[in-house]
Chains A and B, each alone.
Chain A
């Protein structure tokens, strides 16, 4: 493969179209259309609400744990919003907002963390793969889905998400290399939120920026302000278009920040300061977008109320769905190991059935 290495390099500064104070940076031609920004706004309001509601449900004991994406809503909403129906999204455990923005029922997504089953939704319904908890492994699956689509002449593009820590895993590198060699229509979005649980980026990588990791594989990289949803929509949208045109994969690094601990079980105070977190509050993606939209006269009171009301309804649905206890069917233990139970699994299922019968009889 021949290409000019310079064309693979990311910009030296992350792409930003709306600054932290909500002012346009001047690249107005690159700004998404108003209706795109309003759609993103409604989804970010819902996403913020989802993060807060899920966090509360953990405190109430309704969810075992929740890895919050508070502060990363712009990345997650943009990742879903730039896709078409025929495309695929490969989320990680922290990408619940992306999955929900794509249309998956939040109650079904959170079945994993409620403990009902590993994946509570049908991945084919919205073309959202099961949330990956092992790091970077799903990136190769994304390449496979994309390659199969390409072999069949379909126009599918795959959006594959991972975090900064996952770029250290071997599968991240194998996925980039395979995608490049096969020109697979994949967009790799790294949400660099500065921490892999407790390990800061400086201990994770000595690269000038994570987006440079594409260069060695012939994959162009780009850096974006991950708290600027306008920039996220534009950069990811371009990458998706490029992939759809058959021009191969792209790596996008979104600079953002994990405002909360890794999960509720984590104590972020052990590895980062309150001042550091406070500095990121002023760069909040939702407030930034709202400031811009209001100043531009795009966000009407009606639209704001509608977005808040929709988020309220979603939160109510979450409380209702997640407060309801279901008893998972014990047959699920044995029914989906193979297409048909083996004789050995039949024996083991009978043993459990017998145990449960005797429990009922007591």
Chain B
């Protein structure tokens, strides 16, 4: 999520494919290194939630996407 843009696709791939997974991990780390927060939207029988993740290993294998956004700061 970015000012003036909305969401921007950073990387996509199948984590079951080693080459894709490596690229996804690299991008994941790059975003977290920049200080962004990462959330995985989930849906359970129509109930929507978001799980915050700090490491790629915490991303559920069946996750459709990870949303990165700026960290919260006191306003």
- Chains A and B are bound partners: no
B residues at A contact (CB < 8 Å): none
